[in-house]
Structure 1
């Protein structure tokens, strides 16, 4: 399971699953946080991606929410101009891509709006759309903030 941790000798944070060695880096944001670039780092490499961020109100509950949608997955051209360490990722099949997009979705719901996925107004506040399915913290088994 992912958690937010401080990076040693830095003011930065990251979302990390210490059991698997997978972590999410937040790299660049567009104007007014409408687009963002992330890098999902895993023991076998990295997967840069770009998301859009939209805010709304749930019509059933009346509660506010934020939803991330993937614009790119496997590349982030805009960030590569500013971040030289990014390497594009090519997937061998759709199953592998879907697996890593789901891992990224889990990391993003923990990320929240800025490393605050466990402190947001409600448990379904941060949402991530993957192939027309919406994920929240609950979909990944988070009931409380991990230690």
Structure 2
């Protein structure tokens, strides 16, 4: 292992291009300048590898990077430092994970874009308020019981 190092600009650009300039967690589209090349396994847990490998990093938007920092710093593995535990976490492998900071959990990040989708969201939101639920609670209920029976 080597000490923490600055990532070359070309490395970050290549990483962002590999991910189509999307955040690995929320899938939002960002510029290279906005995205942050983030260690999949926190530096505190596994240190820095001798070779710089794209598979050890992923692009995160500032919001997801802050959320990951908070979650990791409050995770039991922050002190245990078991890299394999981080590799199976949402914050280390957002496309295929078993837990979120050691808690069995799944997350779905949804965005509504454009006038038609925003209108759909507003309808869903109004229905949720009428049913005294959050949009997330209503969506889960609709997935469990799509016919509303």
Same fold at TM > 0.5: no
| TM-score in terms of structure 2 length | 0.22
| TM-score in terms of structure 1 length | 0.23
Q: Which has the higher helix share?
A: 2
Which has the greater radius of gyration?
2
